[in-house]
A and B are shown apart, each in its own frame.
Chain A
Amino acid sequence: MTASFYDVIVIGGGPAGLAAAISAHDSGARVLLLEREARLGGILKQCIHDGFGLLRFGEKLSGPEYAERYMDELRAREIDVKTLTFVTKIDNTGDGFRVHTVSRGGVAVETARALVLATGCRERTAKQVFIHGTRPAGVFTAGTAQHFTNLLGLQPAKRCVILGSGDIGLIMARRLTLEGAEVLGVYEAKPTPSGLTRNLHQCLYDFDIPLYLSHTVTRVFGADRLEGVEIAEVDETMTPIPGTERRVDCDALILSVGLIPENELAQSLGVRLDPRTKGPACDGDCMTNVDGVFCCGNALHVNDLVDYVSENAAQAGKAAALYRPRERRLIELQPSDDLLYVVPQTLDLQRAGDALTVYFRARKEENGCTLEITADGKTVFSKRYAFLRPPEMEQLTLRPGEWNLSETSVVRFSLRRPEQEAQR
């Protein structure tokens, strides 16, 4: 068994890990990047559609092209990378971390002062959305169907139903149509679509694929290969309405019903998760409650644009490189019920002088409202939005140094709607 010493170990070689490793290196750290798959790039490898990099590079790139830009940067810096290397466990030694890995070379232990967890997310499965019935072949999560189609060159469906209007589901509706499959419809349990507006247009409307809102799949049929699904209308609580069930014959069900940040390693280190994001609760440096453990990208919260992932990861990488043990004075950033979440969840008063990048999502569609941040009841920041949609994450740069914060301060994020405005 071997052991090497690094300043920063980045776990995960997708877009977040790549950006974090580069940024940590540029901040002077000796960096090791660990990737469990054979190739870097994470899920971008199978995202052969375009639309990546509009914010970051000002051009439309495919997933592999976007990843390639970062991989070139990584190579130019000669950063240590280990692929096909799987982290089995991590020990926190108090002054650093021992990362146990398994690879074709055997078991190894790498040590570092700081960790960046860039472990991405996984897809919610059929059973997690309580689809019942038989267990035939032909029920895929959208990402799995995308892997079969784009990486293995195989046709997973001829006539399919898509459940969930998340971005991957929409992308796969178009992709399978282009491969000659018949996409009977995209069914969404919520009353509003879950994917980006641009994907609704480019992937569904342009191909005449119907979108059924407030509908869900309750059951699958078929003993060997899927033969059909039962569709039902749902009420406001997303509960199927009895009597509305109907059967749709198809040979595949593609699920795009949500992503869950993968934080099993984080949890083994005692990292606390935010139930709203299902990712770690972090401070403005992307540091979790465990000193020296940073988290970024989709492991922190599910993003809709890779450009945001890269930006957030670069910040985490830099902070990890500059990390020295110190006392933190954390105060909470509290979202109101109008908001799905706010990231980061805490703010370190020691660092209040720095610019703070904040991401948030509205809980439901809002037309014409104002985001308001109050500190101890006093409005310290507000911004008007013509509209907010849950699938579209918003980003802000704040200057908390100007808010006169103390350790007992309460910082709240909320939305003010026009009618409330009028009352003021």
Chain B
Amino acid sequence: MKTATLNRKLQQLYGGRVTASAEDGCVVLRGELDDWADVVAACQLAAKKNSTHHVLNDIACPNAKDAPMRLPPDEDRSLDGDAPDVLVIGGGISGASIARELMKWKLDVLLVEKEADLALQASGRNDGEVHPGIDLGKGSLKHKYIRRANRMYEDVCRELDVPFSRVGQYVLFQKRALFPLIALYAFWRKHHDGIEDTVLLSGKELLRREPQLTTETKFALYNPSAGVVCPYGLTIAFAENAVTNGARVALNTAVLDMTVEDGRITAVKTNRGTLRPKLVINAAGVFAEAVAKMAHDRFYSIHPRRGTNSILDKKTGAYLQSIASVKDLSVHGKTHSKGGGVMRTAHGNLLAGPDAVETYEKENTETRPESIRTVFDKQKTTLPPLSECDIITYFTGVRAPTFEEDYVIEPGRRTKNLIHCAGIQSPGLTTAPAVAIDVAQMAVALLQKTQAVEENPSFNPVRKGVPVLRELDDDARDALIRENPDYGEIVCRCEEISKGEILDALQSPICVPTLDGIKKRVRPGMGRCQGGFCSPLVTKIIAEFLGTELSDVRKSSAASVITYGRTKDGEGGGAQ
């Protein structure tokens, strides 16, 4: 849309309160609106699909003032003067996979993450689907990476020892009249967009495969290449493998500001001192725009979008082997989400969600009752036995889309020693392994302008995770317990996790000795009692391992105190 046309439309809609101008390869929107929904709508109106002329949102919205970025409490100089070849900002799936990929070269890589663990934001708060790309067309970066990345999953997950299964995805249609349209759509996707695995199934065949799904289905699209993976497990695995190959990961480390001189970042200020990286990779998720701004290279805007998923008792895992959702074409085009679905997770729970709600709050991960309601109302039409009564937990993640709803993966436009890996949202988990290869190549090319970069001949792509004792047969399990009796002491009864597995997690390459850190790595507390029985026991194991007081153990962040020291006559040392 021409700027004049756009301004005419904005004038009609917002009575002159918002104007657009083409500046420096961007469409900049300025003005003031009362309602965040209007801000999003105005920017969406201005956004052009697959365009590299991104919408920059400079519309003021006094009613939608986001809280300042949450910062880690630590203040020290431990990284002061540190000059890595590459500084990766953000410990989500993007940052972690890029850091690992960079270790294939002889480079000093430092990844900083402001949270107390990796994958604490969007990468740890999604459904873990490895997408087939059935909804993606040529021209977008999402499409560029999806098939290549999807096919990489067996190898990547084998190397990184992360559970992955290609369970397949069904999209259900309840109107027979739609069949010609959908058949054409699948044909086009296959032959034009290369989504080659799509199959059309009858409702009868669908029910033969997944008998609990709705009997209202007339036909379904099936993509056998869809899979499930543990999203935070994969992120941690990437980062661990990076670390064993020599990368450094600094948690609780936030980027606060940057100095840019002559189009180069010369200093990056953090709460742990000032860094002098040769190259910076911006994988900061919802904060990517803020990082771009610090780097004097802001040319896209992020509009946060919340999504809530529910996890159900493993008993209901038997309802479904795959990923499924009823498609209601009436909402098509109105939302930038597939509207959620139901799936069996990599760990065998049923998962329902997510919904999609625009928000100005980048870090508000509060859950709300209406999210659960929306998802369950919709997904009960997919899987009728689905019930809120079987929920064991729910969580909210905030996606980080641009208004073009595509990725931004490119070197800085003005700042030379910068690469953006931004606008990453679904299918960002899926595409991460392929995106990481490209970003690493960009990084090497940029660095090679000023220094020699050699391949790392000793790079070891294999990461060994903590053994999962409950999945072994009796003989193999017995043999491991005889080597290490701690594997025979069950601490988490719901998920059957042993003390040995917890101690292994504490000794893993990126030790996060908190209840949540251990839970993310080996799952105590992930089951139906949600840590009711095991959290005191895990607290005790952590304290013994660290040699600290029990009350020094945290749930996650430094301020997430679990207990306030000893009771009046308590020993506090935990003699049981």
Contact = CB atoms under 8 A, between A and B. Distances in A.
Given A125-B529, A127-B392, A136 B560 contact: yes
B563 A223 contact: no
B490 A36 contact: yes
Nearest to B534: A144
B474 A147 contact: no
A100 B474 contact: yes
A136 B477 CA distance: 36
A421 B492 CA distance: 53
A134 interface: yes
Contact of A125 (B475, B496, B532): B532
Interface string B368-405: 11001000000000000000100111110000000000
Interface string B7-21: 000000000000000
A104 B559 contact: no
A151 B393 contact: no
A420 interface: no
A154 B482 contact: no
Contact of A128 (B391, B533, B570): B391
A149 B567 CA distance: 7
Contacts of A158: 564
B574 interface: yes
Interface in B471-492: 474-475, 477-478, 481-482, 485-486, 488-490
A154 B551 contact: yes
B366 A225 contact: no
B163 to A, nearest CB: 19
Contacts of B475: 1, 107
Contacts of B529: 122-123, 125
Nearest to A255: B532
Given A128-B392, A137-B561, A107 B571 contact: no
B570 A153 contact: yes
A354 B489 CA distance: 43
Contacts of B554: 137
A107 to B, nearest CB: 4
Interface string A135-164: 111100101100111011111111000000
A105 B572 contact: no
A224 interface: yes
B365 A125 contact: no
B576 A154 contact: no
A137 B560 contact: yes
B417 to A, nearest CB: 34
A224 B560 contact: yes
A152 B574 contact: yes
A377 interface: no
Contacts of A212: none
Given A125-B392, A128-B392, A144-B535, A152 B560 contact: no
Contact of A180 (B528, B535, B568): B568
Q: Which of A86, A103, A135 has the most CB of B within 10 A?
A: A135
B446 interface: no
A156 to B, nearest CB: 5
Contacts of B528: 122
A127 B530 contact: yes
B481 A153 contact: no
A270 to B, nearest CB: 14
Interface string B532-569: 11011001100000000011001111111111111111
Interface in A102-135: 102-107, 109, 122-123, 125-128, 130, 132-135
B493 interface: yes
Interface string A212-234: 00000011000111000000000
B70 interface: yes
Nearest to A154: B563
B315 interface: yes
B470 interface: yes
Contacts of B493: 36, 86
Given A36-B490, A102-B490, A134-B366, A151 B566 contact: no
B367 interface: yes
Nearest to B363: A223
A102 B475 CA distance: 11
A153 B392 contact: no
A152 B576 contact: yes
B57 to A, nearest CB: 26
Contact of B496 (A88, A127, A132): A88
B409 to A, nearest CB: 31
Contact of A224 (B367, B393, B474, B559): B559
Given A38-B576, A106-B481, A154-B551, A1 B563 contact: no
Nearest to B564: A155
B576 A151 contact: yes
A133 B529 CA distance: 19
Given A127-B393, A179-B567, A103 B474 contact: no
A84 interface: yes
Contacts of B556: 137, 224
B106 to A, nearest CB: 39
A36 B496 CA distance: 11
Nearest to B470: A88
Q: Which of A109, A132, A141, A149 has the most CB of B within 10 A?
A: A132
A267 interface: yes
Contacts of B394: 127
B365 A147 contact: no
Contact of A132 (B369, B392, B562): B369
A154 B560 contact: no
A60 B365 CA distance: 48
A36 B490 CA distance: 7
A130 B561 CA distance: 23
A143 B536 CA distance: 11
A104 B488 contact: yes
B350 to A, nearest CB: 15
B563 A155 contact: yes
B488 A153 contact: no
Contacts of A127: 391-394, 530
Contacts of B486: 104
Given A36-B493, A154-B572, A223 B393 contact: no
B372 A122 contact: no
Contacts of A88: 470, 496
A130 B477 contact: no
Q: Which of B529, B535, B565, B568 has the most CB of A within 10 A?
A: B529
Given A154-B550, A223-B70, A137 B555 contact: yes
Nearest to B490: A86
B532 A122 contact: yes
A134 B566 contact: no
A1 B369 CA distance: 50
Nearest to A179: B567
B333 to A, nearest CB: 30
Interface in A386-409: none
A127 B530 CA distance: 9
A154 B470 contact: no
A116 B133 CA distance: 52
Contacts of A122: 528-529, 532-533
A105 B563 contact: no
A149 B368 CA distance: 31
Interface of B: 70, 315, 365-369, 372, 388, 391-395, 469-470, 474-475, 477-478, 481-482, 485-486, 488-490, 493, 496, 498, 528-533, 535-536, 539-540, 550-551, 554-574, 576
Given A38-B576, A138-B562, 19 more contacts: A86-B493, A88-B496, A102-B481, A104-B481, A125-B529, A130-B369, A133-B366, A136-B555, A137-B555, A137-B556, A137-B561, A137-B562, A144-B535, A148-B563, A152-B536, A152-B570, A153-B572, A154-B550, A154-B564
10 nearest A-B residue pairs (beta carbon):
A153-B570, A224-B559, A137-B555, A154-B563, A86-B490, A107-B478, A104-B485, A137-B560, A224-B560, A104-B488
16 contacts: A36-B490, A36-B493, A103-B488, A107-B488, A125-B392, A134-B366, A138-B562, A144-B531, A144-B535, A148-B563, A153-B566, A153-B569, A154-B564, A155-B564, A179-B567, A224-B557
